[in-house]
Structure 1
Amino acid sequence: MKFKKERKVLLIIVISAAMAVISMFMTDNSDKLFCSIERPEPGEETQVKRINVVGEDGESITSVDVEIAPRIMSQDEAAVCFEKAYEEIAGIMCGRNKNLEHVTSNLVLPETAQRGVVSLTWYSGNYELINYNGNVNNISFLENECQNVELKLIMEYEDYKSEYDFTVTVYSPEYGTGDRRKIQAQKDIEAAVSSSRMDGNINLPQYIADSKVYYEESEKPVSPLLFVLLGGAAILVVIIADKKKVKDNAIKRKKELLYDYSEVVSKLTLLLGAGMTTRMAWHKIAADYKDNIEHGKAVRRPVYDEICKTDYNIQAGISELKAYEQFGKRCDTREYMKLAALLQTNIRKGTKELRRLLEEETADAFEKRKNMAKIKGEEATTKLLMPMMMMLMIVMAIIMIPAVWSFQI
């Protein structure tokens, strides 16, 4: 028993020592030092890396977030990529067709190749027969009828371009027995109607596809004028409703922007007072909003959506001046344009009084918010006026009708 205990203790010591040695190697900073960064390959996503800048004495100077775009291929590499893209397209463009010499159904014409590296543009010599999406319109073809169509493909990558030509032979669709009889019936009847223009009676074909057929007349259709009128009325209603919806949404959005203005300015003032920079405070507001939305703690508000969009723009490389200017224009209210101007002025001139100006703006904003709350209360009272009048009329009717009946009796 004692021996087993000693073995366990020895095993623990060995494992602890091994982990200590591994930890020493893992914390060796000499392996982490580098002087170059490897770019992502073409077609891969842009990477964001944080690089620690270290001085000769081993002390950290700063940390830099760097966006690394994918590497751009050389001309020779682009040519090889175009060849691979051609092979990729040749393998899928036929779709359900056996080959391009006998096409009866739609083709597959992709917009990109090689994992999105190469952009593809298609041109058709006959857009009525084959459009740029690869859809084939051969429904009117007779059996075994065919027609050639020239397709041109332009591959593009950065400044490099290459052209390819394809010859496609389109045949009549491959129908089942039922579909073939329907098309044959339509063609035979149309031929009979068009060939007897001078006769009073039209003799319809008695046999279609070697089968005896009979005819019966459908019920008289509703007047097309009715559908025209109903369609015109529906279009008018849709247009009016759409315009009203757009207008109502714009008014609602503007009210929500104005109502949230005091809250946004207050948050900015608080975060700046806590020692944050304007950029950090803006990112903090956007991050908190996104976190609350993800966890269901808040509902979407227009101003915070615009703040998040501005934050994304800054992270994407747009300057803060331009991003705040676009923010003010998108909000399109005097208050937010003033806020954007204050932030821009602070960036340009380093205004030390930004916090005081924001505090004054916060006080004015809360005062306006109180006034908006009063207006909302008055609007609610006005909306209740009609139901209250209707209730009053009902009560008066309940009282007056029995009284009138009693006088008549």
Structure 2
Amino acid sequence: MKAVLAAVLIGYGISMILGRKEKEQPVWKRGSFWLWKKMKKRGLLPRTWMTEKYFCQAAAVLAAGCLLALTVQIIQEGQLDNRTVTALERPEYGAGSTSWEMEYTWENGEGLRQQEKMMVQVEEQKYSPEEKERLLDEAVKMVEQEYLGENSSAGKVEYPLNLMEQAGDIPAEVSWSSSHPQYVDWRGALGEQIPPGGAQVQLQASLKLQGAARIFETTVTVYPEKLEEDESMERQVRQTLAMENEKEGEQLMLPAVVDGKTVTWRTPEEEPAKILLVLTTVSSLLFLWRGRQEEEKRQQVRKEQLLRDYPELLGKLTLLLGAGISMRRAMERIAGDYERLKEKKQTEIRYAYEEVRNTCREMEQGIPEQAAYERFGERCGLLPYRTFASLLVQNLQKGNQGMQKLLREEADRAQQQRRDRAKVLGEQASTRLLIPMILMLLVVFVILLVPAWLSFV
């Protein structure tokens, strides 16, 4: 394995040396680019999809993976060579046995070293006979103290017994047997057939610890289990139903009286109204959430379109003002051109031109020109349009002198901002493309490191 990895890296290094003249390529790419040209010249590559880009990327990933794998293997072999294994740690008391995959080497009759793998089973730590006796004595005492549970004495057992399967932290196995399982089972649960006058039951616990054993025996007198009123009623109803089920007939008669109490039976009410209410509420909330999302998306699209059309709108207005047309007439001309294109379905809805059209209609309806321009900036809601509206108002107050220059400067500034936004969007797109590349690199690392780690462990 090491030889194969080293051969790949040596070959990649030789190709980098031979491709050192490819100075227009990055350093890491020169060797693979030189190799790609040579293989393409000899017709050794598929012509349809194996481009220089994919070939160089694949070669770089292969070289990086081989370098990483070789490094891991060298580190692993160094750790194994520097570690002489003469003993294996046994598991803790009561933890059970474990297995280790080991390698052993020896010299055969011909003086050659051979290596084999073997699974070595390691048993848990063993107690001495004295420790076993001491731990079993402690376990018996613990069982004797805890087996009654909530009962006050063995002469009157009315609650389930606490028949533990392990005595606390002592790793001794405890198994129980009962002389009358119908009264008390091996878990300590009381049966339903206990006579009212009580019954004696012999219990035996067998404790085992690494081959040593101890027996604990006791006798308890059990009585019908004390239950809460609802639990007692449920048990009696079940017993009555069991008796009714033993009878013949086409129908099971439900008991009307149980333990002197009147019982009324009815089928559970279905609640489709509640289900429909919940579903309707959830659906309404989903529709509201969807409407909010769509509105936010529409506002974002509107904002981006307004910013995108701003330089174009300023350019048209500057051109018309330069031709000697007044500001109001220029606005009407821009709105009219947009209306004609829209009627011919040669353009989609453009929010900036829609607001220009609305401004012209307001002026036609008698709204003062200055107020119409101010409302235009407020409706657009963006800082560039507010600046534009203030320029229009300034034009009304001070005249056309210098207006064309101001609009041209604003148009240049808007174009620069548009280029900056395009640059930012391009950087964001390239950043998003890094995520799948990083994920692919992580997959390569996992493929290389996990087998090495598993073989070492």
Q: State TM-score, norm by structure 2.
A: 0.37
Q: State TM-score, norm by structure 1.
A: 0.41
Higher Rg: 2
